Amino acid sequence: MAMITLQNSRSAEITVLTNNFIDNYMPEANGEFVKVYIYLLRLLSDTSVPFSLEQMADHFFCTERDIVRALKYWEKENLLTLTYRNNEDIADITLNIPPVKSEALKPEISTVPISTDRQKTVPLDPSAKPSAKSASSLSPDRVKELKQNDEIVQLLYIAEQYLGKTLTPTEMKKILFFYDELKFSPDLIEYLIEYSVSRGHKSIRYIETVALAWAEEGITTVTMAKEANSRYSKEYFTIFKSMGISGRNPVDTEITLMNTWLKDYGFSMDIIQEACSRTVLSTGQPSFQYADKILAGWKDKNVRTLADIKLLDAAHQRRKLEKNAQKKDTTAKPASSNRFNNFHQRKYDFNEYEKKLLNQ
């Protein structure tokens, strides 16, 4: 298990969490991501603390993949910087002072190297890909011009009603970005905000993530957005049913994993359902992390169909039988002259056995 050492000379009695983080970053972040960030700060309060991603995962009863997702999220927020080795393993983590949320200011850097030797990176949210454009590309003159448009004035008023507050300059500029750069119609932007709020998210960052995902998928109308949402909702609840879950909606971490299986891994629903069934049989309960391990393993083995899974199962069973047979051969006692030992040993035809497995 690769170990990580945090070096710091500060007092071990205090963990500093800035008001800026509490006011501007914590409300919009997933609770599990906040735990990981605070835990890193806690580790920094000791002068020399060895740790690994595996230990962090055990501490929070999650997977190493979950820890990496949290790190990737905070990197996106500019609260830390990740560097990698040639094999794409994380080499260092640099903690940054939380930047004040103002486009005119850039974050100051306070580097604390953290050496690590584990875990390949994974996309935080496969449904949202980076965009070369951003709200900052809107010039002040263009913003002023758009705010004189009656259609935009009405849209901003509706947005305030959904969000239940007066829009900040940043939030207003994001909405104008959806209109001017992403080419969303006012109706589509209104539905975008309505959809996000209906899921319990009033954060402009969440709304922007959904908007970028829609733009990437080529969604340009409310009808297309509703069809896409309906399609994914159906797939989510099909997966839930395979896990034996009912009576509740998926949470953000579950949606992130399901999007990974559907989009990043590119698996069909029958393969995902097979992984879910095996998860419940193996663990006795639904576990999205366990299912993710199964599906990640199948992706690494280039599984595309249920027939591919059957071949893997047959090959695994064959190796198991061969191993058991070799073990018996090495532990067998020398044959005695007793007449009860004078019989022919049974021979296994593993190729024939594999054919029978595949024809079941």
Least confident of 69-83, 110-124, 170-184, 226-240: 110-124
Q: Are 254 and 289 in contact (CB under 8 A)?
A: no
**Which residue did the predictor score with more confidence, 48 or 197?**
197
Instruction: Give me the architecture of the 4-95 domain, per CATH.
Output: Orthogonal Bundle (1.10)
Helix (H, G, I), strand (E, B) or coil at 19: helix
Pair of tokens at residue 179: 């209109």
Rounded CA gap, 154 and 146, in Å?
12
Q: What angle do CA 157, 159, 164 make, to 5 degrees?
A: 95
Q: Is 267 exposed, middle or buried (0-12, 13-18, 19+ CB in 10 A)?
A: buried
Query: Which pLDDT value is given to residue 6?
Result: 58
Least confident of 108-122, 227-241, 268-282, 311-325: 108-122
Helix (H, G, I), strand (E, B) or coil at 11: coil
Mean pLDDT of 94-118: 51
Query: Which pLDDT value is given to residue 133?
Result: 54
Among residues 284, 300, 296, the alpha carbon closest in space to that of 64 is found at 296
Q: What percent of the chain has pLDDT over 70?
A: 74
Query: Which pLDDT value is given to residue 336?
Result: 54
Helix (H, G, I), strand (E, B) or coil at 151: helix
Please report which confidence band the pLDDT of residue 233 belongs to, taking 50, 70 and 90 as the band edges.
confident
Among residues 148, 125, 135, the alpha carbon closest in space to that of 179 is found at 135
**Which residue did the predictor score with more confidence, 55 or 344?**
55
Q: Hey, do 4-95 and 135-220 end up sharing a CATH topology, with the first three levels equal?
A: yes
Query: Which pLDDT value is given to residue 279?
Result: 94
Query: Which pLDDT value is given to residue 65?
Result: 79
**Which residue did the predictor score with more confidence, 160 or 55?**
160
Q: Which of the listed CATH numbers 3.40.50, 1.10.10, 1.20.1540, 1.20.1440 matches domain 135-220? A: 1.10.10
Query: Which pLDDT value is given to residue 342?
Result: 54
User: pLDDT of 244-277, one tens digit each?
Assistant: 988 777 777 888 889 889 888 889 999 999 999 9
Q: Identify the sign of the CA torsion 332, 337, 343, 347.
A: positive
Query: Which pLDDT value is given to residue 332?
Result: 59
Query: Which pLDDT value is given to residue 298?
Result: 95
Least confident of 72-86, 93-107, 177-191: 93-107
pTM above 0.75, yes or no: no
User: pLDDT of 177-192, one tens digit each?
Assistant: 999 999 999 999 999 9
Rounded CA gap, 148 and 159, in Å?
16
Q: Collect all residues with Cβ–Cβ distance below 8 Å to 187 and sequence separation of at least 6.
A: 221, 222
What mean pLDDT value characterizes the chain? 78
Q: Residue 280 pLDDT more than 90?
A: yes
Please report which confidence band the pLDDT of residue 95 belongs to, taking 50, 70 and 90 as the band edges.
confident
Q: Residue 111 pLDDT more than 80?
A: no
Amino acid at 159: A
User: pLDDT of 12-57, one tens digit each?
Assistant: 567 778 888 888 888 878 888 888 888 888 877 665 555 677 778 7
Query: Which pLDDT value is given to residue 251?
Result: 78
Please report which confidence band the pLDDT of residue 85 belongs to, taking 50, 70 and 90 as the band edges.
confident
Please report which confidence band the pLDDT of residue 7 belongs to, taking 50, 70 and 90 as the band edges.
low
Mean pLDDT of 147-164: 91
Query: Which pLDDT value is given to residue 172?
Result: 92
Mean pLDDT of 101-118: 39
| Best-predicted range by mean pLDDT (130-134, 292-296, 327-331) | 292-296
Tell me the domain boundaries of the chain. 4-95, 135-220, 224-300, 306-333+345-358
